[in-house]
Amino acid sequence: MFNFYVFYTVLSIIFMVLMVMLSIGLIIIVVMQDSNSNNIGAIAGGAESFFGKNKSKSMDAKLKRLTIYIAISILVTSILFFVVQILFKTLD
């Protein structure tokens, strides 16, 4: 017999772990981006690097795009998590 209680519990834990991992990834990606200020640089270095400005600009664009994707993923994951919680509450 299929146990819905175990299924929803495992699904909730998977969504929570996924949200934590996405949040940590988002923090890392945001810290890696160049800041708008000249005095404050990112962890990976300032805008002027060995490879030149264009390399930094393209990397910044990729990081910005990745930031948007991860933020949308966190939003979708949290909505799915609450849907699972609502379904779990209707089982009781």
Per residue in 16-34, pLDDT tens? 999 999 999 999 999 988 7
What range does the domain containing 55 cover? 4-33+46-91
**Number of domains present in the structure of the chain:** 1
**In a domain? residue 38:** no
**In a domain? residue 73:** yes
**In a domain? residue 80:** yes
Distance CA 30, CA 41 (A): 12
Per residue in 46-82, pLDDT tens? 545 555 556 556 888 899 999 999 999 999 999 999 9
**In a domain? residue 85:** yes
Distance CA 64, CA 59 (A): 9
**In a domain? residue 41:** no
This prediction's pTM: 0.73
**In a domain? residue 74:** yes
